[in-house]
Amino acid sequence: MRSGNINRRAFGKLSFAAGVLPLTFGRESYGKNEQKDDHFFLQVIIGSGMDQSYMFDARPLELTQAGKYSNYLGQEPDVWETKSGGKTLASPLTRPLKHLADDITIINGVHMAQDFAGHGQNLNYLLSGNPFGGNWFGPYISQKASSSLDFLQMGILPDSTLKNAGNSLNLSAKDAGELAVAMRSVPRIHDSTLGQFILNRMEHASRKKGPFSKGSHLMHQGLLGQTKLKSYFARMHDLEESSYRPSSSVHGSMNVVSKYFRSGFTNSVIFAPFHYVDTHDAKSAKKAPELYEAIVSDIKEILDFLKNSPYDESRSLLDVTTVCIASEFGRTMGQKSKPVDDTGTDHNPLANSIIMAGKNVRTGQVIGQTDLQTIEDFENVSKVHKDRDKDLLSVMGLPYDYSLGRTDIDARPEHYDSSHYIHFANIANSILSNFGISSQRMWKKEINSSIPAPSIPGLFK
């Protein structure tokens, strides 16, 4: 009898544990994606052309004093160094990012759309490898992971022309909240007799060729996808928000990004927080210090949010997300015939700076470099630079040796050969390889070329 009592008690305890523990575990977990190798992509775009000299490609004041380079901060740059030996001159405005020095890799001197200086052309190039618009690779990442939504976009990119944006959402954080509420009210119709009739008409209209039929097919698929869609939103509703509370305005957006990733709804996000960086006029250019203080603050909050927010019990969001932070081009040192203390800055597609972080990135590096670092460099400019910028208003990315994996700082080429430089195509293909995307999707080294641009050696593990 006694042993029976013990057995019943033990059995009761075990049953209790078996029943309660999974519930507790499930409630406390931060949402589990069903994918085996959870991997997400966050593209942060500070649109309209960031001035790299206020970030990680700064210049000594001697260039300003010599009338070469406008610098409204009026301070010498810091030497930005990492444990793995990465080194560059960085504006003091980047000091809030210092604790992340070993969590990011900086790529300087990135060439953008060749022969085009416009926002739209370079934004298209940043996203698709084609100045006239094309397919962004974010959807390939989501499709490979079988996510329902190709990508989420937060913020506006007014001049871009993405061809594969059909299965995407463009939302602000507030929009996302309203959408989530609306989703709870969406009726389930497709499994009723009427619903079947409605589906039948969509399917019937999709039978022919042509864009209308394709649209009808997409409506049909969209209606069939309602159950799965609602499950994503239900999962999002159950996910706890990160306890990390950045003080800036990016917090709401990052919480949406977090929920959309953790629910499995999408694997790709474009986040474009707005900052007015297109400082062609002197008045706005003089506000650069406060402008870049705000930008650095946003970048810090985005990366800190990812680093401090759990994805699951053992990983942070940064552990599972590859991050790329970019603008569509850099900016010139000043403008022709304008004094450096009263000038605006123009577009410079010859020298963009990119920040990479997160999953699989070999962090703590500084890759690439621009020319015109010292006064002496102005006397020793390459012919290639002079051909493209005869007034020497722009810095230009130096040639990069892909076989050695380093900048060729002494090179002074006579002729431009795109394969000797870092283009964003090289970075994009590095990202694509990192995600295991088919080589058919690789960007070509030039628009009319059939040869894919090589990945940057050592950018990823």
Partner 1 sequence: MKDKKGSIIALICLSITFWSCRGNDQTETSKTHAVHGNRAGAYKGYLAINADLKQRVFPEQDIYIFLQPSAEGPLVRLLGGFSDLGSSNKFMNGTPNATNMALWVLMAQNIAKHIADQCAYARIEHKEAYASYEGRKIKINSDMKGLLAGICFLGIEPKADMLISLSQGLWMQVVGFEAPYSEFEAFRDFFLLNEDRLSGRNRVEAMMLAMLLNPYYLLEQ
CB of 170 to partner 1, least distance (A): 6
Beta bridge partners of 269: 42, 152
The window from 36-44, 90-98, 189-197, 390-398 that contacts partner 1 (CB under 8 A) reads 189-197
Nearer to partner 1, 21 or 179 (CB): 179
CB of 214 to partner 1, least distance (A): 5
CB within 8 A of 390, min separation 6: which ones? none
As given in the structure block, the two tokens for residue 103 are: 């969590």
CB within 8 A of 18, min separation 6: which ones? none
Q: Which positions from 129 through 148 interact with partner 1, judged by CB under 8 A?
A: 135, 139, 148
CB 145 within 8 A of CB 269: no
CB of 154 to partner 1, least distance (A): 12
CB of 127 to partner 1, least distance (A): 14
The window from 18-26, 218-226, 251-259, 287-295 that contacts partner 1 (CB under 8 A) reads 218-226
Report the residue from 3, 193, 314, 439 that binds partner 1 according to the rule CB under 8 A: 193
Nearer to partner 1, 91 or 167 (CB): 167
The window from 208-216, 304-312, 381-389, 451-459 that contacts partner 1 (CB under 8 A) reads 208-216
Report the residue from 2, 27, 207, 209 that binds partner 1 according to the rule CB under 8 A: 209
CB of 382 to partner 1, least distance (A): 33
CB of 213 to partner 1, least distance (A): 7
CB of 161 to partner 1, least distance (A): 8
167 contacts partner 1 (rule: CB under 8 A): yes
The window from 70-78, 174-182, 255-263, 406-414 that contacts partner 1 (CB under 8 A) reads 174-182
Nearer to partner 1, 29 or 164 (CB): 164
CB 391 within 8 A of CB 346: no
The window from 29-37, 200-208, 381-389, 415-423 that contacts partner 1 (CB under 8 A) reads 200-208
26 contacts partner 1 (rule: CB under 8 A): no
How far apart (Å, rounded) are the C-alpha atoms in residues 200 and 196?
Answer: 6
Q: CB 251: neighbour CB atoms within 10 A?
A: 18
Report the residue from 229, 411, 437, 447 that binds partner 1 according to the rule CB under 8 A: 229
Report the residue from 36, 187, 247, 337 that binds partner 1 according to the rule CB under 8 A: 187
How far apart (Å, rounded) are the C-alpha atoms in residues 113 and 134?
Answer: 13
CA distances from 183 to 178, 228, 232, 339 (A): 9, 12, 10, 56
As given in the structure block, the two tokens for residue 432 are: 């694509």
126 contacts partner 1 (rule: CB under 8 A): no
CB of 198 to partner 1, least distance (A): 5
The window from 67-75, 105-113, 228-236, 380-388 that contacts partner 1 (CB under 8 A) reads 228-236
272 contacts partner 1 (rule: CB under 8 A): no
Q: CB 146: neighbour CB atoms within 10 A?
A: 10
Nearer to partner 1, 230 or 406 (CB): 230
Report the residue from 179, 234, 409, 451 that binds partner 1 according to the rule CB under 8 A: 179
Closest CA to 445 of 408, 420, 409: 420
Closest CA to 308 of 360, 251, 364, 235: 251
As given in the structure block, the two tokens for residue 322 are: 């590859």
How far apart (Å, rounded) are the C-alpha atoms in residues 294 and 330?
Answer: 17
CB 74 within 8 A of CB 61: yes
Report the residue from 28, 210, 247, 448 that binds partner 1 according to the rule CB under 8 A: 210
Report the residue from 175, 313, 342, 391 that binds partner 1 according to the rule CB under 8 A: 175
19 contacts partner 1 (rule: CB under 8 A): no
CB of 274 to partner 1, least distance (A): 11
Nearer to partner 1, 167 or 267 (CB): 167
Report the residue from 87, 95, 98, 214 that binds partner 1 according to the rule CB under 8 A: 214
CB of 275 to partner 1, least distance (A): 15
Binding site for partner 1 (CB under 8 A): 119-120, 135, 139, 148-149, 156, 158-159, 161, 163-172, 174-175, 178-179, 182-183, 185-187, 189, 193-194, 197-198, 200-202, 204-206, 209-219, 221-223, 225-226, 228-230
